Each structure stands twice: as C-alpha cells, then as structure tokens.
Amino acid sequence: MPSTETPERGVRPLGPPRSPVTLHAVARTAGVSPATASRALNGTTRVREDLRARVLAAADELGYIPNAHAQALASSSNNTVGVICHDVSDPYFAAISSGVMRAAAEHELLVMLASTFREPDREIAYVSMLRAQRARAILLIASGIEDRSWERSLDSELTAYQNSGGRVAVVSRHRSLRVDTVLPENRAGATALARALLGLGHREFAVLTGPARLTTVSDRLAGFRAGLAEAGIRLPRHRVITGAFTRDGGHDAAVQLLRHGDRPSCVFAVTDVMAVGALAAFREHGLRVPEDISLAGFDDIPLVRELTPPLTTVALPLTAMGHSAIALALRAERGRRSRVERVAGEVVLRASTAPPAPGG
C-alpha cells in the first residue's frame, strides 16, 4: 500500500543524483578556455594569477571535483621515470637501477621499474605503456638485441615518445636507436682481460657465454678473442659454451665444459653472475679455484668481492652508469644529435686467477 506520509518540513526529498560538474563548465563560468582551466587546476604549467583565481573561484562555486586519474596522467610527465631492464634480481641491473634511483631522488622523481625477464616483445610493450602514462623519461638498461625487426619496432615506439616530448637514454649498445647512450666498453674491457690472463701465463682458455644475439655477449666474446689473437692464440669452438645469462646458466655451461674432458687452465665467464654459477660447478666436481683452474668474470658486482676466492673481473662503475643515464635523459641542452658517454672497464686481478699449474 502506498505510503501517505509527507516529508518533514525542511527536508528535501531525494531526487536523481546530480551529474558531476565538468571541466568545461568550470571554464565557462571562469571565462577561460578549458586548457587554461586545466592548467590552473592541476598546476603543471604556470598560469596568470588573476586567471588562476577566477578558475579556482568557479570550481569552488560549482563544486567541481577533479578527476584524480586525469590529474595523475597530466602530472606524470613531470615526476615519473620508467626504467626497463632484463631482470632486477640480477645484481648487474640492480646496481645500475640503484644509481638511477639515487639520481631520481635528487630531482624528486618517481621511478617505475619493470623487468622484461629477457622477453624482447615485453620490452616494447613496456615502452608503449610508459608512453601512455606520459612518463618524463624512459631508461633502457638492458642489453641491445641483434634483431632488426625488434629494433625497428622499438625505435618506432621510442621515436613517437620522443616526438611527444619524452626523453630516452639507454645503457649498452643498441645498433640503430637514435638516443642518448651510456656505453660500457665491453669489447675493450674483454680484450684487456685476455691480455692480463695471458700475462699470468695462461694459454688454454674457455669462455662461458650467453645468447649470441645480445650485444653485450657478442662484444665481450669478440673482445676476448681479439686479445687472445694478439698473442697468436685461437679459441677453439668447443671451448665456447653458451648458457643462460644467469647463475644457473653459468653452472650448466661449466658442467658442459667439464664433460668434454678437455679442461683449459683458465675460464672466462662473460658476466660475474655466470662466473658465480661456474665456481659452484667446479667445486662440485672437485676442482679448486685457482689451483686447478682459474676463473674470471665481467662487471664487478658487489657479491664477487666476498666470494672464496674473490673473483677476477672487469670492473664497471655500475651505480655511476645509472646516474649517468638519467643525467643524459634529463639534460637541459639537447641538440639534434644523440650523445654517447663511453665507460671504460678496469681489469681487477683477484685470487680466483693465478699462474697455471705446471703442465696446465
């Protein structure tokens, strides 16, 4: 039965909900353009004080509630930096990311960190997402890939992002990207390491390497071969063992090397992380490092100084490289040509390498 009660005096009956006040309504009331109203409300650009006061007064009068998501997108280009790497759990990428974050904190920037887990298509997808989020800068700190199709797709995304005002910097060699680059001297560092190991008296070598399509891998392997070639030494094909670019990949590659039964006196793992896995494999097979076999890596991640024995390696200033990458991306003076900042590696001989045993 319908109710016959009437509303109490002074209480308005509930009606349909009011439509939210739009930005255009605020702009009309303030007598400004929607763009000016938006800038006055989100603070991303300076607006004349009298215009700003009119917009704020109109917003207050109409009860305008800003769209928080739209405001976040509008302001993200001022305070967000996207960092894309292969795997942040890898100490190499963690150290570089640390440098990025320290520098970002100095500029009061927020860092969004993404791991591709070595899937190239995911790297392109993340760049596209960061474009949509209007990040102020995108930093790629993963190795380049020798794949023309992938690099064309990545270049297309980055070019569109840069044309809209975004900034880009990369760490490591990317063959055709037109961006600022922090370039570790991987080839020269590996050549210098080969010379140092030859100086210890080694003549029989093996290399534990990662996927050949990664530019970091190809550069380090080529540099090591070049250093050996200076002394007239050839690296046999069966002594170049490919594994995953991980600790487990280094372990498995070392086991495969030992199964050949043709043991060298010295092994170079193209990353420290792979060398850590190799060290474990050698111990499992009863080999002492360096008494039975010498071992060297590349990068000088903090962990390797604490190993037993400490690892010989090529030291890169990883944290400083991250700092340099963000500095390049945010630099004020930007010409039409991209800048390349080369970073030299330094050979650090530690206890994991020693002169070969007699007959080794």
Q: What is the pLDDT of residues 75-86, one digit of tens each?
A: 545 689 999 999
- Based on the number of CB atoms within 10 Å of its own CB, is 288 exposed (0-12), middle (13-18) or buried (19 or more)? exposed
**Intervals of the chain under pLDDT 70:** 1-19, 42-46, 65-78, 332-336, 359-360
How far is residue 77's CA from residue 44's CA, in Å, rounded to a whole number?
A: 9
pLDDT tens, position by position, 269-306: 999 999 999 999 999 999 999 999 999 999 999 999 99
Q: Residue 9's pLDDT is what?
A: 43
How many of the other CB atoms lie within 10 Å of CB of 249? 23
C-alpha distance across the termini of the chain, in Å? 103
How far is residue 134's CA from residue 70's CA, in Å, rounded to a whole number?
A: 11
Q: Residue 12's pLDDT is what?
A: 43
**pTM for the structure as a whole:** 0.78
Q: Residue 150's pLDDT is what?
A: 84
How far is residue 38's CA from residue 24's CA, in Å, rounded to a whole number?
A: 9
List of domains in the chain: 23-66 (1.10.260.40), 74-184+319-343 (3.40.50.2300), 186-317 (3.40.50.2300)
Q: Residue 3's pLDDT is what?
A: 45
How far is residue 325's CA from residue 320's CA, in Å, rounded to a whole number?
A: 9
